[in-house]
């Protein structure tokens, strides 16, 4: 097993470096913000390697992941266990590790109500990985089907949130604004949905809560002017739009122009509590409208994670997930490894899901 750590300016660059230097079979085993800025990504590759090489790589990875001042947590313990397994040490985690079994993986993914075609594709890719551990095999398969790309709130100009009614776009707008404010950006929340019952009032409440400005934009021209005015002041615009079904031809016509406005990054928002097949179809339709990233909301309400898989495998990058309806709940990032753990370690009885890395 070969382990390497990559430093890059953002997740896209880091993943490109991993694939360029380690090949498409490399699995992302962890990621975090670097102290000096940018992203630090750890990747693993199942190769023939000497015992001394594994030991050295394990020590380097342990030093990077576990600085002396850090207090151990669930992720730290999991990574420590992974390192010990790479060294060949037998631990309680090793004894309880779930071995790979294609039939069991198919059953697991079906339990999460994952789209049927995606279920079989992931099981086949996991089996071909040759990894004996179920979590790592599934992570390897997911790494080939999904990309993680968090929002760059320090440099973004305007983010337009699009998705079906009830997906949580307004709450996501508030969460994005809160994160941007914490990073030092001024934010303008733009209400493009001025006719929905209570939509503007709710957005006004959120704007006051996070210290952001608010602008009403009833037309596309008004929206373009508001975005331009904010950009001229280096203020991040977060646009909350009315819910719609992107599979509907008439709705698509109205939103395609908005998603392709100059300086605007379209972000899809879907709910983890929705039917996985429906979420996959909606996500795919949003991609055709120009959506580059997806945010999946409501994992605190969903006992099954099939909708997350459906959203993450349609061509758009998975930016974030949310597990709380409250602004303080924030935005989390799922890597292929943490999503694999979520799928394998979460049962449908509402067990504790742990933390996304």
pLDDT tens-digit readout, 130-161: 999 999 999 999 999 999 999 999 899 999 99
What is the mean predicted confidence (pLDDT) over 307-316?
Answer: 96
Nearest in space to 309 (alpha carbons), one of 291, 286, 288, 283: 283
Which pLDDT score, from 0 to 100, does residue 66 have? Answer: 45
Residue 78: its pLDDT value, please? 52
Q: Specify the CATH superfamily of domain 158-333.
A: P-loop containing nucleotide triphosphate hydrolases (3.40.50.300)
CA dihedral 122, 124, 126, 127 (to 10 degrees): 160
Whole-prediction pTM:
0.72
Distances (CA, A) of 65 to 37, 82, 162, 262: 16, 12, 36, 40
**pLDDT tier, 20 (very low <50, low <70, confident <90, very high otherwise):** confident
Per-residue pLDDT at 209: 83
User: Residue 349: pLDDT above 90?
Assistant: no
> Is residue 356 predicted with pLDDT exceeding 50?
no
pLDDT at position 208: 87
Distance CA 87, CA 109 (A): 30
pLDDT for 53: 47
pLDDT of residue 355: 40
Q: What is the pLDDT averaged over residues 172-180?
A: 93
Q: What is the mean pLDDT of residues 109-135?
A: 94
Lowest mean pLDDT among 22-36, 108-122, 287-301: 22-36
- Between CA 132 and CA 127 the distance in angstroms is 9
What percent of the chain has pLDDT above 90? 50
Q: Do 293 and 319 meet the contact criterion of CB atoms below 8 Å apart?
A: yes
Going from N- to C-terminal start, the domains of the chain cover 1-97, 158-333
pLDDT of residue 318 exceeding 90, the answer is yes
Q: Report residue 97 as tokens.
A: 């590790």
Mean pLDDT of the chain: 81
CA distances from 213 to 6, 11, 356 (A): 38, 29, 31
Does residue 295 carry a pLDDT above 70?
yes
pLDDT of residue 49: 43
Instruction: Convert the pLDDT of each residue in 216-231 to its tens digit.
Output: 998 888 999 999 999 9
Side by side, which strands form the sheet with 213-216? 213-216, 187-191, 236-240, 158-162, 264-271, 293-297, 317-321
Q: 178-181: which pairs have CB atoms within 8 A and are 24 or more residues apart?
A: 178/210, 178/327, 178/328, 178/330, 179/151, 179/153, 179/330, 179/331, 180/153, 180/236, 180/238, 181/210, 181/211, 181/212
- Greater pLDDT, 90 or 22: 22
* DSSP letters spanning 86-102: HHT---HHHHHPPBP-H
Element (H, E) at 172: helix 169-182
The pLDDT value recorded for residue 60 is 47
Q: What's residue 302's pLDDT? A: 92
pLDDT band at 261 (very low <50, low <70, confident <90, very high): confident
Report CA Rg, the chain.
21
Question: Which residue intervals of 3-131 are DSSP H helices?
Answer: 11-22, 51-65, 74-87, 92-96, 102-111, 116-129
What is the pLDDT, as a whole number, of residue 122? 96
- In this structure, of 24-33, 115-124, 264-273, the range with the lowest mean pLDDT score is 24-33
Q: How confident is the model at residue 96 (pLDDT cuts 50, 70, 90)?
A: very low
- pLDDT above 80: residue 46: no
pLDDT at 321 over 60: yes
pLDDT at res. 36: 63
């Amino acid at each position: 097993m070969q382990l390497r750590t990559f430093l890059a300016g953002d997740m896209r660059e880091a993943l490109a470096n991993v694939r360029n230097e380690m090949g498409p079979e490399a699995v992302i085993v962890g990621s975090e913000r670097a102290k000096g800025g940018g992203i630090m990504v750890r990747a693993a590759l199942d190769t023939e390697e000497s015992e001394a090489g594994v030991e050295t790589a394990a020590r380097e990875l342990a030093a990077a992941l576990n600085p002396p001042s850090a207090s151990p947590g669930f992720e730290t313990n999991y990574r420590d266990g992974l390192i010990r397994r790479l060294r060949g040490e037998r631990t309680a985690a090793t004894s309880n590790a779930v071995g790979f079994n294609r039939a069991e993986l198919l059953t697991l993914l079906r339990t999460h109500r994952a789209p049927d075609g995606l279920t079989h594709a992931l099981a086949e890719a996991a089996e071909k990985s040759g990894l004996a551990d179920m979590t790592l095999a599934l992570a390897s398969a997911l790494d080939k089907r999904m990309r993680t790309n968090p929002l760059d709130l320090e440099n973004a100009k305007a983010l337009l949130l699009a998705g079906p009614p009830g997906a949580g776009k307004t709450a996501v707008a508030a969460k994005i604004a809160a994160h941007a404010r914490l990073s030092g950006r001024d934010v303008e929340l733009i209400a493009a949905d001025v006719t929905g019952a209570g939509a503007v009032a709710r957005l006004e409440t959120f704007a006051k809560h996070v210290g952001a400005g608010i602008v009403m934009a009833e037309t596309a021209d008004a929206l373009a002017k508001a975005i331009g005015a904010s950009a001229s002041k280096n203020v991040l615009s977060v646009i909350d739009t009315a819910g719609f079904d992107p599979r509907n031809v008439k709705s698509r016509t109205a939103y395609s122009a908005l998603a392709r406005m100059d300086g605007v990054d379209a972000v899809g928002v879907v709910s983890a509590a929705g039917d996985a097949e429906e979420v996959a179809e909606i996500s795919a339709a949003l991609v055709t409208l120009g959506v580059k990233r997806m945010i999946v909301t409501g994992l605190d309400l969903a006992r099954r994670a099939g909708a997350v898989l459906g959203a993450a495998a349609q061509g758009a990058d998975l930016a974030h997930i949310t597990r709380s309806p409250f602004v303080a709940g924030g935005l989390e990032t799922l890597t292929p490894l943490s999503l694999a753990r979520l799928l394998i370690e979460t049962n449908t009885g509402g067990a504790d899901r742990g933390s996304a890395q």
